[in-house]
Amino acid sequence: MVSADAVWAALAEIPDPEIPTVSVVDLGVVRDVRVEDRRVRVEFTPTFLGCPALETMRDAMARRIEALGAEPEIRVIMDDSWSTDRITPEGREKLRASGFSPPAPRAAGTPQLVQLRSSAFRCPYCGSRETRLENIFGPTPCRSLRYCTSCRQPFEQFKTI
């Protein structure tokens, strides 16, 4: 029988299809892993509902579990349990290293336009806070576009949800 730890370790090797430096475990979308004999039940919480990467992640999880010699059962949980606060500290650091500014904590309250328009977001390249909002929306549902006026570099900001 495969151990839950072995399953977590295998899942930690599955990259996000769109930001491959970050794994599905870093993203916090794996809510629970339960092993019952040969069967491995994974609870998977989607990020953004229109994200086309979700099916790819779900299928990749099933294949990894099969490779461990177990029977996967991936349950997609459509409740409110995922927020960007579920991204792990390692995940946030990996995002920064690949040029994405990590999401602001949701714990601070509902995101407000006035906050996005402020210069509170740090440029992932030079660390400056002299940044401005260019577009609430970006190339994928999870990102906004910002511009750093210090190093004159556009960058992508992970949305807080």
Of 64 and 143, nearer to another protein (C-beta) is: 143
- Residue selected from 34, 98, 137, 152 as contacting another protein according to rule CB under 8 A: 137
| Rounded (5°) CA angle 28-32-34 | 150
Does residue 146 sit in helix, strand or coil? strand
Q: Is there binding between residue 65 and another protein (CB under 8 A)?
A: no
> What is the rounded distance in angstroms from the CA atom of residue 156 to the CA atom of residue 161?
15
Q: Does 15 bind another protein (CB under 8 A)?
A: no
Strands 100-101 and 30-36, sheet pairing:
unpaired
The secondary structure of residue 8, as a DSSP letter, is H
Site string for another protein, 104-133 (x = CB under 8 A): ------xxxx--x-----------------
Closer to another protein at the Cβ: 12 or 136? 136
Q: Which of 20, 50, 127, 154 binds another protein (CB under 8 A)?
A: 50
The piece of 46-54, 57-65, 97-105, 120-128 that touches another protein (CB under 8 A) is 46-54
Radius of gyration from C-alpha coordinates of the chain: 17
Helix 4-11 × helix 53-67 angle, to 10°: 140
Structure tokens at 113: 């336009």
Residues binding another protein (CB under 8 A): 48-51, 78-83, 110-113, 116, 134-141, 145, 159, 161
